[in-house]
Amino acid sequence: MPCNGNATISDSLLVQIVDAALLMAASKSGPWLACKPGCYQCCVGVFSINQLDAERLRAGMVELAFRDPARASSVRQRADASVVRLTVAFPGDPLTGMLGESGEDCERFETFANDELCPALDPATGTCDLYSSRPMTCRIFGPPVRSQDGLGVCELCYHGATAEEIAACEMVPDPDDLESGLVDESERRTGMSGKTIVAFALLR
């Protein structure tokens, strides 16, 4: 089987694992998890994605263009407009869309485009046009997820829950770190390494 076929299968497995972890966390969380269609606070402001995320998004665009060309065209138009707005102050290389890795670039990215809507978001419905192909950051947002800063949750969720109750709902999205190896494969396959953002990924 060709390398690209193996990568597709492996990414599908990663998505299944992460989505299953989300369902389990949602089941434990009940009404504390406020996420629902039309709630898109997490779609406001740019965030970094890896090359595996970028490949998945582009594959999603191909599928969307086949299934609903008009909707795919709208996503591309939003992505193009977003890139135009973001290029001037982009903390990296605006020609490739790759984020810079210097301390200065990372510091600039902290406050960069925090009001920019994700181009995959349909502003009329408040839903994602590329939901099944969304990046891992989107897939794990909402439930309690552990990071170097501790256990973080969406500020709209878990109102009234104690710290112990929140901890009991913790989501462990990728316990075997399958993603790291898949990102390495993606970077070798595409010849692109490092992080980018959704708008640039969609226009490659």
pTM for this entry:
0.91
pLDDT tens column, 19-30: 999 999 999 999
The pLDDT of residue 145 is 94
Q: Spell out the alpha helix ranges (H) of the chain.
A: 3-29, 51-67, 69-87, 103-110, 136-140, 163-167, 178-190, 198-203
Q: In degrees rounded to 5, what are phi and psi of residue 54?
A: -65, -45
The whole-angstrom separation of Cα 54 and Cα 78 is: 16
The pLDDT of residue 149 is 81
What region, left, alpha or beta, does residue 32 occupy, with left being phi > 0 and alpha being psi -120 to 50 degrees? alpha
Distance of CA 129 to the CA centre of its chain: 13
Specify the 3-state DSSP secondary structure of 28. helix
The pLDDT of residue 9 is 61
pLDDT tens column, 118-173: 999 999 999 999 999 999 999 999 999 998 888 888 999 999 999 999 999 999 99
Contact at 8 Å (CB) between 147 and 113?
Answer: no
Distance of CA 119 to the CA centre of its chain: 12
pLDDT tens column, 58-116: 999 999 999 999 999 999 999 999 999 999 999 999 999 999 999 999 999 999 999 99
